[in-house]
A and B are shown apart, each in its own frame.
Chain A
Amino acid sequence: MTRSSSSVEKKLVGLADLVVKAADRGKDPAIEIPVRSLSNVKFNEKRRIIEMGSNTQERTFFNVGMAKKFMQTMLVADALSELQRAELTTSLREIYYRAKHTIGDSHENTFDGQNESDPLIEDLEVALEALREELHVRAENAGTLIGPLTVVDDGDSVDCSKLGKGGYCVPSIVEPECLRIKRCTADFVLLVEKGTQWNRLAEDKFWKKYNCVLLTGNGQPPRGVRRLARRLHDERKLPVYVLVDNDPWGYYIYSVVKQGSINLAFESQRMAIPEAKFMGLSSHDPQRYGLPRNVGIKLNDKDIDRAKEILNYPWFQKKEWQEEIRHMLSVGLKFELDALANKDFQYLTKKYLPKKLQDRDWLD
């Protein structure tokens, strides 16, 4: 850790050198930043993950449109190098506060909101090829885990099967240096989109009955959750199943777990689980499980646009997936996992998941 952090620090200081060098030559200082958008990612068919392309953009200083961003990038780099030297980790929000101040005697702030500093940290991650963990920046602890699993976290051994129904809070940094998987007897990992459904499964001791690790990321799973699932998959050869709402956002969450995200395409190789399976909710499930139409929600324009966008993603080109999404569009409804409660409070635990597992009814 110490060795790598010094190399990260060097990279950060390199930015200052870049500015000084450009100034000495009377040139406009510029930072090369790989483009983080759909246009610069490609789906690697062979590895079945999303990889970042080679397109970069120059962030220059003497350009009215970019000057502020350039200045902000330098401020963030400064804050990050300060972390390196102090050997502390921090959150995105704290970095924002650290770098925020009024510029000179003007009425202008360096940053007006956290939404301005967050993307810059990601920019630096890709530009400097340093992982967020290496930059000492934590994401929020948004994930929870429960199951027959013992981990060693900061020297503490945590038996995740003895944590009641609250479970273990997945830290944002779960690299082997920080978190060791000591024991794992589970048969598979079930990653649930929503905390409410995870609670239902934890309360019903679903993990005990079916011998699995229950994971949730409360929506779009944070890096820690994805990385931990990947490690369980890699190190313990556990299959990973994803349980999400039946809507375009649910599909995308599944695809992020499976292929990686567009925004953090450079992290795919560390996080993506190409073998992950889509357990549900499928657009066919309401029919198969007899959910009445009135517990559905009409797709709004945004949903429809997003669904059509997803239809075009190269990693959703499989026949079954095209059919799945088109079916949702033709029905015109989306269904939440919670809607299963319409039949019975424990329908998810007692009927739906057992049947799915038994029938091996999932999409790849």
Chain B
Amino acid sequence: MKKRTPAPKTATKSPKAPGTTTPRKPAKAAGLSAVEMGARQREISVSEFFTKNRHLLGFDNPRKALLTCVKEAVDNAFDACEEAGILPEVVVKVEPVATDGAAAPPASTAPPPTQATRFKVTVVDYGPGIVREQIPRIFAKLLYGSKFHRLRMSRGQQGIGISAAGMYGQLTTGKPVQIISRTGEKNPAHYFEVQINTRTNEPRIIEKKQIEWESHRGTQVTIELEGRWQKGRASVDEYLEEAAIANPHAQITYVNPEGETKAYQRTINELPPPPREIKPHPYGIELGLLLKMLHDTKSHWLSGFLSSDFSRVSPRVADEISKAAGLNPHAKPRNIMGLDAERLYKAIQATKIMAPPTNCISPIGEKAILTGLYKQIKADFYTAVTRPPAVYRGNPFIIEAGLAFGKGPQEAAALKRTGPAAEGERQEEDAELARVLRFANRVPLLYQQSACATYQAVLETSWRNYGVSQSRGALPAGPMVVFVHMASVWVPFTSESKEAIADYDEIRREIKLALQECGRRLGVFLKRKERAKHEYHRRNVFELYIEEVAEACKRLKGGRFAVERLKSRLLKIAMKRTGGEKTDELLGKKSGPEGLPDSIIVTAEGVEGAVPEIPPEGSPEPPALPEATPLEAVPPLVQQGEPPKEEPAKRLKPKGAGKAKPVQAAGRPKASKKPKKGKR
């Protein structure tokens, strides 16, 4: 394309030059007649478009492609389970596949997982299943789904995700998507192999049959694709870990390409209240959409259309709008177009209408966020804030923020044991920046952090006010994890791959307010800790020196000297002079509630605050299982689609193997089970 551009340029220029010869010739050679051009013009199918522009859907590189594939499948599984009122339970398995395409290569010939270029992703859920007729279209037709045409909070929005993942797999490996689905015990399980016809955006069924499946209901999807597996930032592992934080009601089992099994335990045994579907709010629509709605409505009168197709428009408000637009309330909606429609649109914007209903959104909730953070991240202080609902462009949304600060008592103790930090060690620690976990409708966002409204809001919050250091224009520094969640009927993403939340002022303001509240609580916590530490240090100094002074006195006096008596008397004075019992309290030695709302404080002595109960009752986990089972001992999933009840979900030891990550898998020190331990 680029090479050609100079040619027409010279052509258009040449006529301008006076006295040049044969100016028309080159133009004629390069140009095409309208007829010729018309012959080439044809429809572009969505599939074709996305084949060429797969980066728009998050398949720009092999590493991201693998993540996107897992993400889409897991999101779908969660959505399906929640909508059906089933506690989500998902098994994710990522296996390396030899490039020659052998289905299940023996371990010896398979490339090492980090070198492999082809993977088989299997995601199993024990949700409602999918009816047989819909299976091919859901998995092999882009822009097909249940979520686009409604305003209801869900993870998926467009109906692109899973079919795009299948298409990507098909493009890179030629393998079809394999699906097993069963809708209930009485129904048979169906096995499908489907591909997408990129020309027509229609599914092509390679194979379909009824099979035996151990699970009574649920869906299993297997996609083979080109990818790359790495641990660390923006990896499949990180995604599942964060998903577990935002979905404490879900049980996730992950078998990584190395064959290790990680179980993210369910910590809340209740489904979040189901979000409700709402109609669009008049403030949130654009003229084009209004025209479409006018055309599509079932109402016969304008006033009826306004009050039944929009939320918060009562018949009285509808009349008001009609009057302001100079239109007859009984006009036929279909006949309103052109100038009238524009006037109607302006009238809507000018009329005072109640904010949209906000009970349609189901936030994660402060307790659940706390639970999620507490379960997955080791820290000394946890807090969570759920903001009241707000509205952007007529879409209601809720911002939630959470914060985990500190390294946790265990790590701090380990650090202490190694003695004073060597040169350079402390600097490293100080330079550590906070980690921002971003979520939209409970889905972790891993890419494009700096383009995201949440990230901007974290930067704009002045953390220094709360005792956390922060350089100009940078994230706050310190052992801190910041959690931000936006729940909305329509999350405004910056692109189809759903990586960053668009920066609406209303959204950013809400995020900042939530972060500030978290920050204030952290500030209180840090200040108290600082003060207590200071006093403690003071007393500690005295305690140390009293020993020395008393011993020196003993040696000076010689003979029998009541050294213990002297020590105890001096200690008493020290206690009196360093804030006494109060310091002990602040230090958590005799811990009382700190009085911070929705916070958890972890000290070496114990945990206080809204500590979640782990494990929950009725969990499939057999309680008799030894807690300390190391990771390696857990057998990997033997067969795909094995029901979870036979899969012993084991709790991980906090200091178990696979410690490559700062954040640990499920499992907590025993202290968490006895939250009251510190009180006496």
User: Which residues of A does B touch, CB under 8 Å?
Assistant: 12-13, 15-17, 19-20, 23-24, 26-28, 61-62, 64, 67-68, 70-71, 74-75, 77-78, 81-82, 103-104, 106-108, 110
Which one, A23, A64, A81, A106, contacts B556 given CB within 8 A?
Answer: A81
Contacts of B556 in A (CB 8 A): 12-13, 15-16, 74, 77-78, 81
List the A side residues contacting B674 at CB < 8 Å: none
A-side contacts of B538, CB under 8 Å? 64
Residue B566 CB within 8 A of the other chain: yes
Distance in angstroms between the alpha carbons of A26 and B575 in the assembled complex: 11
Contact (A68, B545) CB under 8 Å given A13-B557, A62-B577:
yes
In the complex, the answer to whether A61 meets B549 with C-beta atoms within 8 Å is yes
Question: What residues on B are CB-neighbors of A107 within 8 Å?
Answer: 419-420
B555 within 8 A of A: yes
- CB contacts (< 8 Å) of B569 on chain A: these are 23-24, 26
Contact with A along B518-546 (1 / 0, CB 8 A): 00000000000000000000100110110
Q: How far is the CA of A64 from the CA of B541 in the complex (A)?
A: 8
Q: Give the residues in chain A near B576, CB-CB below 8 Å.
A: 26
Tell me, in angstroms, the Cα distance from A49 to B566 when the chains sit together: 44
B312-368 residues with Cβ-Cβ distance < 8 A to A are none
Enumerate the 5 nearest inter-chain pairs by beta-carbon distance, A residue then B residue, closest first. A16-B556, A23-B569, A16-B553, A74-B552, A71-B545
Q: Which residues of B contact A24 (CB under 8 A)?
A: 569
Nearest opposing residue in chain A for B568, CB measure? A23
A108's nearest neighbour on chain B, judged by CB, is B544
Q: Is the CB of A77 within 8 A of B552?
A: yes
Q: How far is the CA of A19 from the CA of B552 in the complex (A)?
A: 10
Taking CB atoms, residues of chain A closer than 8 Å to B574 are 62
Q: Is the CB of B545 within 8 A of A103?
A: yes
Q: List 16 A-B contacts (CB under 8 A).
A: A15-B556, A16-B556, A17-B557, A23-B573, A28-B577, A61-B542, A61-B545, A62-B573, A64-B541, A67-B541, A67-B542, A68-B541, A70-B549, A71-B549, A78-B555, A81-B556
Asked if B570 lies at the interface with its beta carbon under 8 angstroms from chain A, I say yes
Pairwise interchain contact A19-B547, C-beta atoms closer than 8 A: no
Could you say which residues of chain A place their CB within 8 Å of the CB of B577?
28, 62
Question: In the complex, are the beta carbons of B552 and A78 less than 8 A apart?
Answer: yes
Q: Name the residue on B nearest A68 (C-beta).
A: B545
CB-CB nearest in chain A for B557 = A16
Q: Tell me the complex Cα distance, A74–B461, Å.
A: 52
Determine the main DSSP class of B at the interface with A: helix
Alpha-carbon distance between A107 and B420 when the two chains are bound, in angstroms: 8
- Give the contacting residue for A20; candidates B545, B547, B553, B555; CB below 8 A: B553
**CB atoms of A23 and B566 under 8 A apart:** yes
B545 x A67 contact (CB < 8 A) = yes
Is B679's beta carbon under 8 Å from chain A? no
Bound form: Cα–Cα A110–B551 in Å = 13
Residues of A within 8 A of B150 (CB): none
B553 touches A103 (CB 8 A): no
Q: Which of B536-593 contact A (CB under 8 A)?
A: 538, 541-542, 544-545, 547-549, 552-557, 566, 569-570, 572-574, 576-577
With contacts A13-B557, A74-B553 taken as known, whether A104 is within 8 angstroms of B547 at the C-beta atoms is yes
Choice from A23, A64, A78, A108 contacting B570 with Cβ under 8 Å: A23
Contact assessment for B547 and A103 in the assembled complex, using a CB-CB cutoff below 8 Å: yes
B residues near A27, Cβ cutoff 8 Å: 573
Closest to A25 in B: B569
Contacting residues, chain A, for B544 (C-beta < 8 A):
103-104, 106, 108
The CA-CA distance from A209 to B569 in the complex, in Å, is 70
Chain A nearest CB from B558 CB (Å) reads 8
A15 to chain B, nearest CB (A): 7
Cα separation A28 to B572 with both chains bound (whole Å): 11
Closest to A74 in B: B552
Of A20, A77, A107, A110, chain B has the most CB atoms within 10 Å of the CB of A20
A348 CA to B127 CA, complexed, in Å: 107
Give the complex CA separation of A193 and B577 in angstroms.
Answer: 52
The residues of A that contact B552 with a CB separation of less than 8 Å are: 16, 71, 74-75, 77-78
Q: Which residue of B lies closest to A69 (CB)?
A: B545
In the complex, how many angstroms separate the beta carbon of A325 from the nearest chain B beta carbon? 46
Closest-CB distance, B459 to chain A (whole angstroms):
38
Chain B residues near A67 (CB-CB < 8 A)? 541-542, 545
Contact B548 A26 (CB under 8 A): no
* Distance of A346 Cα from B330 Cα, bound (Å): 127
CB distance from A81 to the nearest CB of B (A): 6
Give the shortest distance, in Å, between A62 (CB) and chain B (any CB).
5
Apart from A17-B557, A23-B569, A61-B549: 12 A-B pairs, beta carbons within 8 A: A15-B556, A20-B553, A24-B569, A26-B573, A61-B545, A67-B542, A74-B548, A81-B556, A82-B555, A104-B544, A107-B420, A110-B548
Closest B residue to A82 by beta carbon equals B555
Q: Across the interface, which residues of A come within 8 angstroms of B573, CB to CB?
A: 23, 26-28, 62
- A108 to B545 Cα, complex, angstroms: 11
**Distance to closest chain B CB from A26 (angstroms):** 6
| CB <8 Å contact, B542 and A62 | yes
Closest CB of chain A to B525's CB: distance in Å?
24
User: Which of chain A's residues have a CB closer than 8 A to the CB of B547?
Assistant: 103-104
B373 to chain A, nearest CB (A): 34
Kindly state the separation between the CA atoms of A77 and B553 in the bound complex, as whole angstroms.
9
Give the Cβ gap from B475 to chain A, nearest Cβ, in Å.
33
| B538, B548, B569, B576: residue with the most chain A Cβ atoms closer than 10 Å | B548
Min CB gap A124→B, angstroms = 12
Q: Which of A16, A24, A27, A70 has the most CB of B within 10 A?
A: A16
Note all chain B residues with C-beta closer than 8 A to A68. Answer: 541, 545
- Give A78 to B566 CA distance when docked, in angstroms: 17
Whole-angstrom distance between the Cβ of A8 and the nearest chain B Cβ: 13
| Minimum CB distance partner of B572 in chain A | A26
Do the beta carbons of B548 and A103 come within 8 Å of each other? yes
Nearest Cβ in chain B — how far from A84, in angstroms? 11
Decide yes or no: A20 and B566 within 8 Å by CB, A77-B556, A78-B556 being known contacts.
Answer: yes
Report the separation of the CA atoms of residues A48 and B570 in the bound assembly, to the nearest whole angstrom: 46
Rounded to whole Å, the gap between the CB of A38 and the closest CB of chain B is 31
Which of these, B545, B554, B557, B572, contacts A70 with CB under 8 Å? B545
CB <8 Å contact, B572 and A19 = no
For A28, the closest partner residue in chain B by CB is B573
Complex CA–CA separation, A83 to B544 (angstroms): 26
Nearest B-chain residue to A63, judged by Cβ: B577
Q: Is B545's CB under 8 angstroms from A19's CB?
A: no
Contacts of B566 in A (CB 8 A): 19-20, 23
Which residue of the partner chain B has the closest CB to A17?
Answer: B557
Residues in A whose Cβ lies below 8 Å from that of B542: 61-62, 67
Least Cβ distance of A249 to chain B in Å? Answer: 37
B549 and A74 within 8 A (CB): yes
CA of A13 to CA of B553 in the docked complex: distance in angstroms? Answer: 8
For A81, list chain B residues within 8 Å (CB). 555-556
Considering only CB atoms, which chain A residue lies closest to B570 in the complex?
A: A23
Chain B positions within 8 Å of A13 at CB level: 556-557
Contacts of B572 in A (CB 8 A): 26
